[in-house]
Chain A
């Protein structure tokens, strides 16, 4: 009897897990179709990282800020991570927009797990960043940055990018569910982006930061994403180990997706 009961529970869990994965993919799939129908937004997003690399990077390279290292090499992974942050952190605005339209009501009235809705959308934010990554890789080739053109490394970077995008877009969704209006969200979005960016190792190394900023930067997930990307893109030895980078990102993304899943329904109230 007990065995049958356990077996039944195991099957139920198996079924709900499969349903969760399938539904997550359905949501992501349709978000990708939307990008394919109208890729202008993704292309316009590439302008900002291009400016950072072509202008800021070229100028800063002349200051020889980091002795013995090519600044453009140092900065390129940071700019890729920055683009992921900027795309993802404003994702909440799309959530508020969908709520205003009425789509969210419709999604929530279907038998779809809330976490699947949240994770599906977060994955699509990551997929939105892949064309950006391609453009940044092309730019780095044009600027003769010493990028490791190795398939395993590139796949590793894509995984870091996806995890980072899931993390920051879900963080953004949580804020959207709490503040609920576009105006307030825009204010908070602006307020969050720059501190996250400056308290990371994106455009300067942690070593040269003042003590207090060093401490903050260790609590910033962006730091770990950049650390991993720098190792996989340029070959700079990791400050924390690649495993630490992936673990920090994966754990914090999971926590955020769970929180997002439980808050998502509040956006319509």
Chain B
């Protein structure tokens, strides 16, 4: 059964089309990556699916709930880790998690044990009582993932989960995502522009370029599809998106990315 299904999902900003008639279907327990260059529409797609951005046309269903007519139900079954920082620096790691446990209607008796469990799961027990501003970038990312998993959502959205992290922190975050997939069978939809990341974590990937889905399949299928021996996911990516690739990026996107990198670095 498809747990995420989009039908001609479209979002325009003025005259520019950020996401153009996106059709995709993701099965329960899958880890699915949307790959694409900056400005391809990945984040816009995630924002629509997490009910943060109204759709211009089309429709999508998550666990059978419509994102346009049943946004409240959708919010109960999803976890979301935005690309930017989403924890409060002055509060401790534990307080940050308690805040969200209560916002997700976890019964008050269960809040604390659940928070302690997820801190342990993400390897943050020792830092639980430290203010988050003393955390490293990798620790913050793990805390954010813990925060989104407190209510055991059916679907987890990760928007560029390792942006701005050094390779070692990256590896730890990956390990925890894999562990989480194994233990909770959560369906994961992530965006990234790192081929390695998609290859390592996901069983299915889709290439996005200028708002359109240009190809999708397992990493192996995509590598094989370009019929060049020994090709990597990157080769496939260039093959499918080269015609539409653009050098530039707008000012606000770049400044946002730099800020995120700076904070997590």
A residues near B (Cβ < 8 Å) are 19, 22-23, 26, 30, 33-34, 37-38, 100-103, 105-112, 265, 268-269
- Residues of chain B within 8 A (CB-CB) of A37 are 90-91, 131
Are B95 and A30 in contact, CB atoms less than 8 angstroms apart? yes
- Knowing A19-B105, A110-B75, the reply to whether A26 touches B80 (Cβ < 8 A) is no
Known contacts A30-B91, A268-B52; A109/B85 CB under 8 A: no
Closest Cβ–Cβ distance, residue B193 to chain A (whole Å): 18
B102 touches A106 (CB 8 A): no
Judging by beta carbons under 8 Å apart, are B51 and A109 in contact?
yes
Point out residues on B near A: beta carbons under 8 Å.
47, 50-53, 72, 75-76, 78, 80, 82-88, 90-91, 95, 99-100, 102-105, 131, 147, 259-260
Q: A26-B99, A105-B52, A109-B52 are in contact. List 18 more A-B contacts (CB 8 A).
A: A22-B102, A23-B102, A26-B103, A30-B88, A30-B95, A33-B91, A34-B90, A37-B91, A101-B84, A102-B85, A103-B88, A106-B100, A108-B51, A109-B82, A110-B75, A110-B103, A268-B52, A268-B53
- CB of A268 to closest CB in B, whole Å: 6
Smallest Cβ-Cβ distance to B99: which chain A residue: A30
Taking the closest CB of chain A, its distance from the CB of B225, in whole angstroms, is 35
CA distance A38 to B88 in the complex (A): 13
The distance in angstroms between the C-alpha atoms of A71 and B99, with both chains bound, is 46
How far apart sit A103 and B83, CA to CA, in the bound complex (Å)? 11
Assembly CA distance A38 to B92 (angstroms): 12
CB-defined contacts of A34 to chain B, threshold 8 Å: 88, 90-91
Enumerate 8 A-B pairs (CB-CB under 8 Å) in ascending A order.
Answer: A34-B91, A38-B90, A102-B82, A102-B83, A105-B82, A106-B82, A110-B104, A111-B105
State how many angstroms separate the Cβ of A190 from the closest Cβ of chain B.
Answer: 25
Please name all residues of chain A whose beta carbon is closer than 8 Å to the beta carbon of B87 when the two chains form the complex: 103
Residues of A within 8 A of B100 (CB): 106, 110
Which residue of chain A has its CB nearest to the CB of B92?
A37
Complex CA–CA separation, A112 to B101 (angstroms): 12
Are B86 and A103 in contact, with the CB atoms below 8 A?
yes
> In the bound complex, do residue A269 and residue B103 qualify as a contact, i.e. CB atoms below 8 Å apart?
no
CB-defined contacts of A103 to chain B, threshold 8 Å: 85-88
A111 and B76 contacting across the interface, CB-CB below 8 Å? yes
Closest residue of chain B to A265, judged by CB? B52
Closest Cβ–Cβ distance, residue B65 to chain A (whole Å): 12
Q: How far is the CA of A102 from the CA of B87 in the complex (A)?
A: 8
Alpha-carbon distance between A22 and B104 when the two chains are bound, in angstroms: 11
| B80 partner residues in chain A, CB cutoff 8 A | 105-106, 109
A38 to B, closest residue via Cβ: B90
B72 and A111 form a contact (CB under 8 A):
yes
Q: Which residue of B lies closest to A105 (CB)?
A: B82
Say whether A102 contacts B86, CB under 8 Å.
yes
Chain A residue at smallest Cβ distance from B83: A102
The answer for the CA separation of A142 and B118 in the assembled complex, in Å, is 52
Q: What are the nearest 10 A-B pairs in CB distance?
A: A102-B84, A106-B86, A109-B80, A111-B75, A105-B82, A102-B82, A26-B102, A102-B86, A110-B103, A37-B90
CA distance A108 to B82 in the complex (A): 11
Q: Contact check, A105 vs B103: say whether CB atoms are below 8 A apart.
A: no
Bound CA span A110–B52, Å: 10
Instruction: Give Cα distance in the complex from A102 to B103, angstroms.
Output: 17
Nearest-neighbour CB distance to chain A for B262, whole angstroms, equals: 12
Distance in angstroms from B87 CB to nearest chain A CB is: 8
A26–B102 Cα gap in the complex (Å)?
A: 7
Contacts of A26 in B (CB 8 A): 99, 102-103
Residues of A within 8 A of B72 (CB): 111
A98 to chain B: closest residue by CB: B88
CA distance A102 to B259 in the complex (A): 11
In Å, the complex CA distance between A109 and B82 comes to 10
CA gap between A268 and B159 in the complex, in Å: 15
A268 CB contacts on chain B under 8 angstroms: 52-53
**Contact A101 B91, beta carbon cutoff 8 Å:** no
Give A30 to B90 CA distance when docked, in angstroms.
10
Min CB–CB distance B216 → chain A (angstroms): 25
- By CB atoms of chain B within 10 A, which of A23, A107, A111 has the most? A111
Please name all residues of chain A whose beta carbon is closer than 8 Å to the beta carbon of B88 when the two chains form the complex.
Answer: 30, 34, 103
Chain A residues, Cβ within 8 Å of B51: 108-109
CB neighbours of B86 from chain A (8 A): 101-103, 105-106
Contacts A30-B91, A37-B90, A110-B104 given; does A269 touch B53 at CB 8 Å: yes
Which residue of chain B lies nearest to A37 when distances are taken between CB atoms in the complex? B90
Contact indicator B91/A105 (Cβ below 8 Å): no
Q: How far is the CB of A27 from chain B (nearest CB, A)?
A: 8
| Complexed CA–CA distance, A185 and B10 (Å) | 31
Chain B residue nearest to A30 (CB atoms) is B99
Given the complex of chains A and B, what is the CA–CA distance between A101 and B144 in angstroms?
A: 13
Chain A min CB distance to B196 (Å): 24
